[in-house]
Amino acid sequence: MGNNPLITLKRVGQYEAIPFDEISLEHFIPAVEFGLQQAQERLEAIRNNPATPDFENTFRAMSELSQVLDNAPSIYYNLMSSESDDEFKQLAQQIAPMMSQFSSKMISDPALFERVKYVYDHLEEMQLDGEQRRLVDKQYKGFIRNGALLSDEKKEKLQKLDMEMSQLSPQFMQNVLGSTNAWEKHITDENIIAGIPVNALKAASYRAKQKGYESGWLFNLQYPSVIPVLSYCRNREFREEISLAYNSRAFQDKFDNQELLKKIAVMRYQRAQMLGYNTHADFVLEERMAHTPQNVFDFLERLYAASIAPAKEELEELRKFARETDGIEDIKQWDTAYYSEKLKQQKYAFDTEDLRPYFRMENVIEGAYKVAEKLYGIKFNEKTDIPLYHKDVKVYEVTEETGEYIGLLYVDLFPRETKRGGAWMTNYQDQGFAYGKEFKPHVAIVANLTPSTEETPSLLNLDEVTTVFHEFGHALHGLLSKVKLVSLSSPNVYWDFVELPSQIMENWVTEKETLSLFAWHYQTGELIPDELIEKIKKAQTFRAGSGSLRQLMLGFLDMAWHAVDPRGIEDVYKYELEAIARTSLLEPAEGRNVSCSFSHIFAGGYASGYYSYKWAEVLDADAFEIFKENGLFDRTSAQSFRENILAKGNTEDPMELFVKFRGRQPDPDALLRRVGLK
């Protein structure tokens, strides 16, 4: 064990970076086992401590059980998502139940709960600061929400349930990834790929060569491959084929998730029932800004009422356009992106592909850094002497204007078969004080953007630029955390608050002042012209009702699985169709299924929380109006956002934090104003 870097807690250089180049597959299980033993010994010392329970000997002691256990599983799960093969992924089937069993036993331990309850009951007598009181309240409720008040028999049942559940979500994600990687199509006929932009075809050609084909184009189900086909390919049959393949991942194939997701939904419901909640949604939303399922439904219904009529009008306009353009009488789901792009070009003389030459990936990243520098006075310096987990990753030292070190940012943006789809931000190390020292945040943003080819650098579309700024907003939340207790650090906040720092950053993307910082043509060096910026702005509200309805569909579907008793659900396909019927304006295509690849809710943290994207859009639209009023890079407004939102983590109620920044509670109409629905 002496040479296991996960056990020795080896760190590299002045930044105490993770030695990724020294960590191997065989290190994880021994490290987790060592950490669990260490934590168990320290738990015994806490529960048998004869001293009167107080914050230090109970709460701080419980939050500092084992640095090894804090680190090894976190590193494992981060790498499982971003850089892992099948053998690596299989470790989750061992690590997840080990961690779940320990967590369940700890949080259901009556002796530990008595100590926690004593401090909670004597809170007014103890001289604790705001953060300490918040942690006491949070952990006390955590014990209750994890079965502390149950009988021994029910506690044992809950532990078994948690252990089994811990294995299901990783399996769900592995199935989605397996199904995604299983489909690819090699094309040699130019007629099939007619209309697809040159840059996308170069990427497909490069992909084919990498896979050993002498010629032609290779398409797969990664986002940068799918979207150009759906948006531009004139061959309707190919659009249909790739659309059905993408939207039927892990459904009715060898990676089928139907039985697995039903099992996850039922077990979540059973767990909530054991703890005295009506549904899993009731359990989850108790610790959210929305608080109750009814509040979520009311929120979704309000947006639905504002979105449905415009969405129907937009669809009729699209139907008419497709009919007049190509004689298409029966528009299908694989036609909407294609004709939307053509209609946008006609209405605004604007093709999103016109933007790619101005959005070289390296410039976009630098642009995000410049925005952060102008807002918060922080700087990003690339480092080449820090170990990486993959050659595509870059790492940056983040500092204040004064030179004071803030933390590390890892950037991993391109697709590969060892990485799951989508985009996300994650923490390798949270900010805060623990084990007698201060830990600086080490965060990462991970995505699957258009890669470079032999002929062109990575050139992004507008959605991908927005994705970069979105995930960078999450990264800023983690980097600019300024709390004392690690477990309360950013971005460990309520789930319907966590998207505010990310989504507010998206607002800067299409502003002229921002684009002037980074949007130069990759060949000529010409700054993006004002006419093009104006077209972007005009097109921002294009099909806003349809876009809103798509997000609401996912929110309703999430609640359909989690705000009910799911035990009677047998047919996943039929149940989903019924759940999303009001938001589906086109006839559903046979074989498509969202639920089976809905990793956000079945393998991520968004169960009963997908509504939070729209909830946070309300928060960010309202918050951004301050910058529209005071100046896009107004330092006073930015400093207030940093101090009241980004730095605070979970040290205060999120609504109170928002009110401190905005001066009042959020205005729901701010979002409708922004997208032109009010």
Q: How far apart are CA 499 and CA 493, in angstroms?
A: 10
Reference 303, options 590, 560, 534, 545; nearest CA is 545
> For the domain that residue 61 is a member of, what is the CATH number?
1.20.1050.40
Please identify, among 199, 223, 246, the residue that sits at the C-terminal boundary of a domain.
246
Measured distance CA(389)–CA(412) in Å, rounded: 10
- Distance, in Å, from the CA atom of 343 to the CA atom of 348, rounded to the nearest integer, reads 8
Tokens representing 71 are 């680190």
Q: Give residue for tokens 């910082």.
A: 517
H or E element, residue 260: helix 258-274
* 493: in domain: yes
Confidence (pLDDT) at 350: 85
Q: Is the pLDDT of residue 80 over 90?
A: yes
pLDDT score of 81: 95
How far apart (Å, rounded) are the C-alpha atoms in residues 24 and 87? Answer: 12
CB 407 within 8 A of CB 40: no
Residues 358-383, mean pLDDT to the nearest whole number: 98
Residue 112 near residue 46, CB atoms below 8 Å = yes
Q: What is the pLDDT of residue 668?
A: 86
pLDDT confidence of residue 470 = 98
pLDDT of 436 reads: 95
Instruction: Give residue-wise pLDDT tens across range 313-338.
Output: 999 999 999 999 999 999 999 999 99
Q: Does some domain include residue 253?
A: no
Place of tokens 């301050």: 626
Domain for residue 617, yes or no?
yes
Look at the block and give the residue holding tokens 């309000």: 302
Q: What is the pLDDT of residue 454?
A: 86
Band (108; pLDDT cuts 50, 70, 90) = confident
Residues 364 and 409 in one domain: yes
Whether the per-residue pLDDT at 386 is higher than 70: the answer is: yes
User: Which domain range does residue 241 map to?
Assistant: 183-246
Specify whether 641 is located in the same domain as 520: yes
Between CA 200 and CA 464 the distance in angstroms is 14
380 membership: H or E segment, kind and range: strand 378-383
Do 422 and 464 lie in a common domain? yes
pTM of the model: 0.89
What is the amino acid identity at position 449? L
Q: What is the pLDDT of residue 649?
A: 98
| Residue 212 binned pLDDT confidence (cut-offs 50, 70, 90) | very high
Judged on CB neighbours under 10 Å (0-12, 13-18, 19+), 214 is exposed
Q: Is residue 166 part of a domain?
A: no
pLDDT at 351: 87
For residues 117 and 130, membership in a common domain is answered with yes
The set of residues, in sequence order, having a beta carbon less than 8 Å from that of 247 and lying 6+ positions away, is 333, 589, 592, 593, 594, 597
Measured at the CA of 149, the angle between CA 147 and CA 154, to 5 degrees, comes to: 60
**C-alpha closest to that of 433 among 368, 371, 507, 489:** 489
User: What pLDDT score was predicted for residue 488?
Assistant: 97
In a domain, 121, yes or no: yes
CA distance 334 to 311: 17
Q: Where on the phi/psi map is residue 267: left (φ > 0), alpha (ψ -120 to 50), or beta?
A: alpha
Residues 277, 343: one domain?
A: yes
Are 288 and 321 part of one and the same domain? yes
Residue with structure tokens 């609504």? 655
* Number of domains, the chain: 4
Backbone torsions φ then ψ of 520, nearest 5 degrees: -110, 145
Looking only at the bridges linking them, the beta strands covering 442-446 and 405-412 are parallel
% pLDDT > 90, the chain: 95
What is the per-residue pLDDT across 562-612, written as a single tens digit (0 to 9) for each? 999 999 999 999 999 999 999 999 999 999 999 999 999 999 889 999 999
Q: Copy the structure tokens of residue 392.
A: 């595509």
Share of the chain above pLDDT 70, in %: 100
* Rounded mean pLDDT, 112-122: 97
Residue ending a domain, among 592, 612, 632, is 612
Residues 381 and 465 in one domain: yes
456 within some domain: yes
| pLDDT tens column, 170-194 | 999 999 999 999 999 999 999 999 9
Region 642-650: what's the mean pLDDT?
98
* pLDDT-based confidence at residue 104 (cuts at 50, 70, 90): confident
| Residue 678: predicted pLDDT | 81
> Do 623 and 480 fall within a single domain?
yes
**pLDDT of 645 higher than 70:** yes
User: What integer pLDDT is reported at residue 1 of this predicted model?
Assistant: 61
Element (H, E) at 398: strand 394-400
Q: Rounded distance, CA 469 to CA 505, Å?
A: 6
Report the alpha-carbon distance of residue 217 to residue 229 in Å, rounded: 12
CB–CB of 375/635 below 8 Å? yes
Is 177 a member of any domain? no
Question: How many angstroms separate the CA atoms of 646 and 476, rounded?
Answer: 7
Same domain, 646 and 510: yes
What's 521's domain CATH number? 1.10.1370.40
* Average pLDDT value for residue range 43-58: 97
**Average pLDDT of the chain to the nearest whole number:** 96
Residue 276, in any domain of the structure: yes
* pLDDT at 421 (0 to 100): 86
Query: Positive or negative CA dihedral for 100, 105, 106, 107?
Result: positive
Chosen domain end from 192, 211, 246: 246
Q: Which residues are catalytic?
A: 471
Nearest CA-CA partner of 86 in 422, 388, 420, 387: 420
Residues 587 and 622 reside in one and the same domain: no
Instruction: Reply yes or no on whether the pLDDT at 147 is more than 80.
Output: yes
- The per-residue DSSP string of 586-654 comes to SPPPTT--SGGG-HHHHTSS-TTTTTHHHHHHHHHHHHHHHHHHH-TT-HHHHHHHIIIIITTTTSS-H
Contact 655, 671 (CB under 8 A): no
Question: Tens digits of per-residue pLDDT, 25-39?
Answer: 999 999 999 999 999
Same domain, 606 and 621: no
Same domain, 436 and 562: no
**Residue pointed to by tokens 């109170």:** 656
Cα separation, 128 vs 194, in Å, equals 68
Query: Could you tell me the two tokens for 295?
Result: 């509040």
